[in-house]
Structure 1
Amino acid sequence: MGSAILGARNLTGCEHRLALDFASSEAAARTGETAEANRRIEAAQSHRRHVIDALRQFQSHRQAGAVVLVDEPDHRGRVAATRAAMDAGAEWILQASLPTDAQRGRRGHAEALVRQGDGYVPIIIVNHRVTTPIAEPREGETPSLQTSPLSGWEPAPDPTRSFRSQRRDVMRLAQLAAMLDDLGRLHAPRDEALGGLIGLDADCIVAIPLGEVADDYDAIFTRRRAIAEGLIPTAPRKVSECRSCHWWPRCEAELVQQRDVSLVVGGNQGTVLRDIGVVTIDQLADYRGREPEDWVGSTKFPDTIVSAKSWVRDIPLVRRRERPRVRRADVEVDVDMESFSERGAYLWGTLLTDNTNPERPVVYRPFVTWDPLPTRDEGRSFAEFWAWLMSERNAAHQAGKTFAAYCYSQHAENRWLRGSADRFGDMPGVPSRKTVDAFIASDEWVDIFEAVGDNFVCPRGKGLKRIAPVAGFGWRDDEAGGEASMEWYAAAVALDGAELDLSQRDRLLEYNEDDVQATKVLREWIAGDDVLRLPLAADLLAENSGA
């Protein structure tokens, strides 16, 4: 295998994927990106074009030649145009491509290079949020974050935001800084260099101190290049990245054949098990020794043994307690939110059940905007959802009835409850952040995902699509899922140039309705008697103790 040339994408994520992507013998077997990956790529490209247009507008007052947009059709032409712009001392170079460095093994491009002194600061644009608003900055505390307006490179302490760091963004900027430094074009010594990061909100440029990560980048780059060149062997392991990887079908087949322990235990816990000689699911299922002293992570060691036994015997769930429990109420509302990437939440679906009045129909109510995200109309639909939810809550209280609203994995719902209050607080009917936080903190907001984890060991994951079928629920659409819904939404609103297909709106509403129905069926099953047919974790563990 020849010398590998790495782009920024190769610096993070699964090392085995990197090895497979670069193995020449696998070239003919490579498959294309998943539909979800292609959607993310297209959305990111659209966002970058929009922000680059905005950057051009901010600099439109400058004289000719000060701002250069590199738009040549081929890579060689883009590199030549970028170098010519740097040689001419352009103030802003948009869509810049740096020359591929075959000797050092690096390639890269920047959405913008902005001149500072005799060199350039690299700026990249990403399609996710990179800052979080700080509601009440602390007086007298020096902000750790520096930001600059989009109109020019003027970094200054920013007490209104905190940084939402993602490693792949920082590594990409570090690679660009290294390349500029090799060309003698970096604006400062490498240990003092800064990079710029523009996120989804595109309301500022975050200044990233790259000197702090230079040594880390060098070590990572050296190892990753060695992997790409076949000098360091890798093996498949199941990680979170697998679900969106085009190599997963191949890796999964290998792992299942090997009965690899990573299928039930992930991350550092799998490393700990390998260190004590437990490499297969069967070995873990039969484990009779002490818990490893250096056991880490949130999953308890006995749970991993139960998961392994369940995997071997094809048991979908195992009870933690004799009688599972979940909070119930007189009036119950199941809630499911649909969002698109980080652009916003376009749909809040609800299903109300009044257990004190069997004649009251159980009706699905969606609160939705079909204006393409991001849109202010999102605030209108959220306000209507909130008003309806609170009116039902208040009516239950006034009638002396208990009330509870349920979701599956409140992390997502809470994020958009709070985010909607923050972003649309000036619109009629939108609650304050304080009001939303009070509701989230109350015992009337119940997370069924947490209830599942509290009541069961889940050997094959805790996702709603995996757990609800155990309770007897099935989705009407065979393709239903988060990844597919992204494609449906893009067509439903003709997002980013997609062809408009109004039938996808009905499909999304049906999918959302099924999600709230699944949540209802699952929580009622947890509280019922059929769940008692599942085995108890204590009984499975007793097999290994000889009890």
Structure 2
Amino acid sequence: MIDAGALTRCRHRVHLDAAFPEQLAAAPEDPGVRQRQDAATAKREGIRRTLTEHAPDRWVQIDREQSARRRAEDTLAACAAGADRIWGAVLPLDRDVGRKAHCEILIRDTDRGGYIPVIVVNHKVTDPGRGAVTSGMFEWEPREDLARKPRGQARDQMRVAQVYRMLEQHGFASPALVAGAIGYGSDVIFVHDLTAILEDYDERFVDRLAIARGESATVPSKIGECRSCPWWPGCEEQLTQTHDVSLVASGSRADLLREAGCRTIDDLAAWDQEPIEDWPHGAFEDAVVTAKAWLAGAPLVRRYSQIRVTRADIEVDVDMESYQEHGAYLWGTLLNADGISVYRPFVSWDPLPTPDEARSFAEFWTWLMAEREAAALSGKTFAAYCYSRAAEDKWLLDSARRFVGTPGIPTEDEIREFIDSPQWVDIYQAVSDQFICPAGKGLKKIAPVAGFRWRDADASGEASMSWYREAVGYDGEPDLSQRERLLQYNEDDVIATKVLREWMSDRAESEIPLATDL
């Protein structure tokens, strides 16, 4: 028996989950996974209230306190009775085929008969653009959306396809071959065209079911999913023993290498052929150097003899903390001038979303621009730094749009003038341009090479999400100690950027080997 989640999961993980259920149940819970599950549960409850309270007479709500078997019986009974809308649908286990599924919403297709499955998820299902098909939240009226384009989400596609196949088996699937998803923003239903999904779904289902039933063999290979997988320690040990090439060229790159007969890190380090065509994610030569660095135990490798990084008389390190797509609650800064560093946070502890976010952002921007102007007036150079600017840029621009007209909020043009200037420096880009990084380019991978350590051993972006929920009291009384923890984590992030920048200026050339040295 497999659910739709297995269809986008690592194939080897599907095998391990099925073969060792007791070990899986005993594995420690990943706090990031738990946080995302809790947030998704809260999102679904909010959508349930919005929809059912708008037109309560149209809805049959399946009692979630009942057993799964009873909920499945009630779901089929509601479908047989022609219910207009069903919330909390559960379909009977299909033990012969091996499917199980549930769905937040079933909408009756009044034109063709049967039901249209709609899921509720806590991520984006569309992006700004055009070409998506959407429907209003309260009436099923699909139409082309001139303001949105589809956002590829394979996990959503596999989930609605599995629900559709199970509805089909019971004779309750709409012949329209469509499904829906309510994502972040919760203002429309994005419409999935199942005709473009079902063939891929059927192939994946056959593959994963054979694995789960022990009919198809798998081997570990490193992919992005490994970061949060409970089986990763064992897989990593196995891959390390065999020097598996996926440790230095993960995902699809490892597949390409194996097709070329390159299976180990040693094979890649000794590569003497032409580079593989259409190599993804960087230059193929970097992969060869990464393999050499892994064998030599080098945490970084210089691309050039000289390391350069932008420096200024007045330097400000910036690190933003956000909570999912709800907003940016903290802008942390470290002012470095005349040999003195001062940390200053601009924060709102009102639970996001909140208008108070505008106040903290306006104060941050006003302060930053004042420091920039003061440097110019005194004839000093100025630079502000972040690490991997995509998130900061997103929330700078998004805050200007969302809070337009609020006192102290800059225009979008003012934000763009700053982030497009040479005074906004991305240290991540400086690292990427000048180093090959065998263990990854994240700040928590690179800063320790420069000698920096975070005070909190559990510090991570995932962990900070859970800390934030406790800090603002989403699930109870606010925990003030978690506020201090978040501020310390944010302060360490800006200090880490400063330490890394100074190390690049002063010591990196003498401490890190060149690629030719390997």
Aligned to 1:543: none
- 2:287 corresponds to: 304
> What is the distance in 2 between the residues matched to 1:500 and 1:401?
43
* 1:94 pairs with 2:87: yes
Shift of 1:15: 1.0
Question: Offset at 1:400?
Answer: 2.9
Q: Determine if contact 1:89/1:115 at 8 Å carries over to the other structure.
A: yes
Residue matched to 1:218: 202
1:425 corresponds to which of 404, 410, 425? 404
Question: Which residue in 2 is equivalent to 1:125?
Answer: 120
Structure 2 residue 3 is matched with structure 1 residue 7: yes
**Aligned-partner SS, 1:111:** strand
Partner SS, residue 28 of structure 1: helix
- Counterpart in the other structure of 1:434: 413
C-alpha displacement of 1:201 = 1.5
Partners of 1:154 and 1:438 lie apart in 2 by 42
Note if contact 1:291-1:301 (Cα within 8 Å) is conserved in structure 2: no
User: Structure 2 CA distance, aligned partners of 1:52 and 1:82?
Assistant: 16
1:27 aligns with 2:11: no
Task: Give the equivalent residue in structure 2 for 1:538.
Answer: 516
> Which residue number in structure 2 is paired with residue 484 of structure 1?
463
Q: Note closer, same or farther for the CA distance 1:206–1:276 as it changes in structure 2 (3 Å cut).
A: closer
Matches of 1:382 and 1:480 in 2, distance apart?
A: 24
The separation in 1 between residues aligned to 2:87 and 2:252, in whole angstroms, is: 41
**Residue 459 of structure 1 pairs with residue 442 of structure 2:** no
Match of 1:195 among 162, 179, 183: 179
1:269–1:295 contact (8 Å) kept in structure 2: no
Find out whether 1:377 has 2:356 as its counterpart: yes
Note the C-alpha offset of 1:484. Answer: 2.0
Normalising by the residue count of structure 2, what TM-score does the alignment of the two structures yield?
Answer: 0.95
Q: Take 2:439 and 2:332, find their aligned partners in 1: how far apart are those partners?
A: 27
Is there any run of 5+ residues in structure 1 with no aligned partner, and where? 135-142, 541-547
- Structure 2 residue corresponding to 1:469, chosen from 448, 452, 455: 448
Give the match for residue 184 of structure 1: 171
Q: Residues 229-273 of structure 1, C-alpha deviation per residue, up to 9 Å, x if partnerless?
A: 222211111111111111111111111122211111112221222
Give 3-state SS (helix, strand or coil) of 1:362's partner. strand
After TM superposition, give the deviation of residue 498 of structure 1 in Å. 4.9
Report how far residue 167 of structure 1 moved: 1.1
Distance 1:130 1:227 in 2: 30
| Contact 1:272-1:294 within 8 A present in 2 as well | no
1:210-359 alignment, distance < 5 Å: 210-285=194-269, 287-294=270-277, 296-354=279-337, 357-358=338-339
Structure 2: stretches of 5+ with no match in the other structure: none
Distance 1:483 1:524, change over 3 A: same
Mean Cα deviation higher: 291-300 or 76-85: 291-300
Shift of residue 433 of structure 1? 2.9
Q: Which moved more, 1:316-325 or 1:228-237?
A: 228-237
Give the corresponding residue for 1:505. 483
Distance in 2, Cα, partners of 1:351 & 1:342: 25
Within 1, Cα distance between the matches of 2:447 and 2:273?
A: 34
Q: Give secondary structure in 2 for the equivalent of 1:428.
A: coil
Q: Write the distance in 1 (CA, Å) between the matches of 2:43 and 2:508.
A: 49
For residues 425 and 363 of structure 1, do their structure 2 counterparts lie closer, same or farther at Cα, with a shift above 3 Å needed?
Answer: same
The answer (yes or no) to whether the contact 1:468–1:521 under 8 Å persists in 2 is: yes
**1:351-384 Cα shifts (integer Å, max 9, x gaps):** 1123xx44xx421111111112222222222222
Quote how far apart the aligned CAs of 1:530 are.
4.7
| In 2, Cα distance between equivalents of 1:351 and 1:111 | 46
Q: Is the 8 A contact 2:126 2:132 kept in 1?
A: no
Decide whether the 8 Å contact of 2:271 with 2:288 is kept in 1. Answer: no
1:161 maps to 2:158 = no
1: distance between equivalents of 2:256 and 2:31? 35
Residues 323 and 284 of structure 1: CA distance in aligned 2, closer, same or farther (over 3 Å)? same
Alpha-carbon distance, 1:133 to partner: 3.6
Report what 1:111 is aligned to.
Answer: 104
Q: What is the Cα-based RMSD across aligned positions, in Å?
A: 1.8
Q: Distance in 1 between matches of 2:264 and 2:436?
A: 19
8 Å Cα contact 1:489/1:504 also seen in 2: yes
Q: Which amino acid aligns with 1:27?
A: P
**SS where residue 197 of structure 2 aligns?**
helix
Give the count of matched residue pairs.
Answer: 513
Amino acid at match of 1:531: E
CA deviations 1:13-40 (Å, max 9, x no partner) are 21111111111xx223222431211111
For 2:249 and 2:443, the matched residues in 1 are separated by: 20
For 2:61, which of 57, 62, 69 is the aligned residue? 69
Shift, 1:155, TM fit: 1.9
The DSSP-based 3-state class of the residue aligned with 1:446 is strand
CA–CA distance in structure 2, aligned partners of residues 247 and 374 of structure 1: 36
**Which residue identity does 2:13 align to in structure 1?**
R
Matches of 1:524 and 1:313, distance apart in 2:
26
1:106-127 Cα offsets, whole Å, 9 max, x none, are 1111111111122111111101
The answer on 1:522 being equivalent to 2:500 is yes
- The residue identity in structure 2 corresponding to 1:148 is S
Q: Using the TM superposition, give the Cα deviation of residue 532 of structure 1 relative to its aligned residue in structure 2, in angstroms.
A: 2.2
Give the AA of the match of 1:217: Y
Alpha-carbon separation, structure 2, partners of 1:446 and 1:515: 15
* Letter aligned with residue 313 of structure 1: A
Rounded to whole Å, the distance in 2 between the matches of 1:161 and 1:398 is 45
Q: Runs in 1 of length 4+ with deviation above 6 angstroms?
A: none
- Is the contact between residue 336 and residue 516 of structure 1 (CA under 8 Å) also seen in structure 2? yes
Query: 1:297 and 1:530, CA in 2 relative to 1: closer, same or farther beyond 3 A?
Result: closer
